[in-house]
Amino acid sequence: MRYREYWRVSLCAMVFAGFLASTAAFAQEARQLAKGQTLYLPIYSHMAYGNLGKSGKASQVLLSALVSIRNTDGKRPIRILSARYYDTNGKLLSERVPTPTVIPPYGTLELFVELNDASGGSGANFIVKWDADQLVNPPLLESLHANMDGGKAVIFMTQSVPLTE
């Protein structure tokens, strides 16, 4: 492995380990049982970085997003009723779960926003509605954002928050 490639891979591994450690505290919080919720998940189609250029704008890097909806209940399934993807301005871009989808105990449903899909912007989000026939452990909803092009790696995670209806 070339020296430069070794450091790139090492840096990616260190960044990823840091994010795993920082999200462990969130995962350890006890959450109340529920029969359904609406969850808000922030998504970044791109992010700004660096200094402002002559145009007055910062540089941008495109990001893919792997959305992971994890059933944390070991005995009962949950149903994902919808997963609506909105842009920065709150405009509905798409429904990613057009018909209710059952996730078995400890199962996962994955949704993906491609690297070349910048339509959401830096303030994009998913609104995910789920329900269950009886009280269950609420699902864990996260998104892993990544761009590993050109010898650079940008990797970070976001987690959902429940909305009050």
> Residue 141: which domain range?
3-163
Helix H or strand E encompassing 156: strand 154-159
Say if residue 143's pLDDT is above 80. yes
Number of domains, the chain: 1
pTM comes to 0.80
Angle at 84 between CA 80 and CA 86, to 5 degrees: 155
Is residue 79 predicted with pLDDT exceeding 90? yes
What pLDDT, on a 0 to 100 scale, did the predictor assign at position 27? 53
Could you tell me the pLDDT band of residue 140, with boundaries at 50, 70 and 90?
Answer: very high
Digit-coded pLDDT (tens) for 16-63: 555 555 555 555 577 899 999 999 999 999 888 888 888 888 888 899
Q: Over the Cα atoms of the chain, what is R_g?
A: 18
Contact present, 116 and 45 (Cβ < 8 Å): no
CATH of residue 37: 2.60.40
Distance CA 164, CA 123 (A): 20
> 13: which DSSP letter?
H
